[in-house]
Chains A and B, each alone.
Chain A
Amino acid sequence: MPIAPVVAVLVIAISVAGLVVLRPGLTAVRGGKILAFFGFFILPVLAATFGFENHIERSKQTSFCLSCHVMAPYGKSLYVDDPSYIPAAHFQNARVPRDQACYTCHTDYSLYGGFKSKIRGLHHIYAQYLSTPHEPITLYHPYNNRECLHCHLGARSFEQGAVHNADPQTMIDIKSNKLSCVSAGCHENVHDIRKADQLKYWKPEQ
């Protein structure tokens, strides 16, 4: 939901609640009671729900992830001028939405995962604002092929790829996550920030 209607509901809620606070005598009559119920319950709940939904949507944005200092090199790696770098190739060729590049390939990260992931998300905020993140940061679990397959599964280039079908077991192992897409010798060039200074970078035209 765009921010304008959310703010509109918030402003209306604040106005109605403010009216009742300033003139509580209004609630002596039936119409005033209904107004108070709207101002103190219906509208605030509605505004909070819309606001929460807006926050969740905005937290999928690339800029949200990159707002933490420790993520800056990973954001920079999206501009590596080398098509063998999988995140960069996907980002630069718009194979993933650029404004949701991180979330598209890391759908189970912090806020979007299970309970443990959410707790880790809180730890990330603690590390960002009150402590120092451990660098280099690493994934908590090996990268799950599901993140690739939610787009590539069924795609001709994937299903009929020569290497993927080199032997019948390979495709089965990829689809069952036994053989990682980012294994050495496969699509291993991801966010290799250790080589950040040695790489060339793409500069999109403004």
Chain B
Amino acid sequence: MKTQNPHLTRRLRISGTLIIAGLIVQAGSLFWNRPLSFLLFVLVGSVVLTVGIVAYLFAIVTLPDKITENVVRSAEVP
């Protein structure tokens, strides 16, 4: 069974949370047709989203997936 590097897992969670937060802000701004909603989309949604994407790309580039092979021995253990 393959398990993920815990550092990469943490970084993925952080970047993913930022991306989801940015997307939710962007989605919310689409239902409000005022100049402020455009600013909300660009200055909050897009910035948070960009930080999340950059964090994700940074994570997969700088922290190579150190997959450890965990052999499930329980089946083998008598």
Contact B26 A67 (CB under 8 A): no
Q: Shortest distance in angstroms between B54's beta carbon and chain A's nearest beta carbon?
A: 10
Complex contacts, B12 vs chain A, CB 8 Å: 20-21, 24, 27, 36, 40
Contacts beyond the supplied A17-B16, A24-B12, A55-B42: 20 A-B pairs with Cβ under 8 Å:
A3-B30, A7-B27, A10-B26, A13-B19, A14-B24, A20-B12, A21-B20, A24-B13, A27-B8, A27-B65, A36-B12, A40-B53, A40-B56, A44-B49, A47-B26, A48-B45, A48-B49, A54-B30, A55-B37, A55-B38
Number of A-B contacts (CB under 8 A): 114
Q: Is the Cβ of B23 less than 8 Å from the Cβ of A14?
A: yes
Q: B: which residues have CB within 8 A of A?
A: 2-4, 8-9, 12-13, 15-17, 19-20, 22-24, 26-27, 29-31, 33-39, 41-42, 45-46, 49, 52-53, 56-57, 65, 67
Docked-complex contact A55 and B34, CB < 8 angstroms: no
Q: Does A160 contact B (CB under 8 A)?
A: no
A98 vs chain B, min Cβ distance (A): 16
Is B16 touching A64 in the complex (CB atoms < 8 A)? Answer: no
Assess the B4–A24 pair: CB atoms within 8 A. yes
Q: Which residues of A contact B41 (CB under 8 A)?
A: 51-52, 55
A45 within 8 A of B: yes
Some 26 contacts from A to B, beta carbons below 8 A apart, are A3-B31, A10-B26, A13-B19, A13-B23, A14-B27, A17-B16, A18-B16, A21-B12, A21-B13, A24-B12, A25-B4, A25-B9, A28-B65, A36-B12, A39-B19, A40-B53, A41-B57, A44-B23, A48-B49, A51-B45, A52-B41, A52-B46, A55-B30, A55-B38, A58-B33, A67-B35
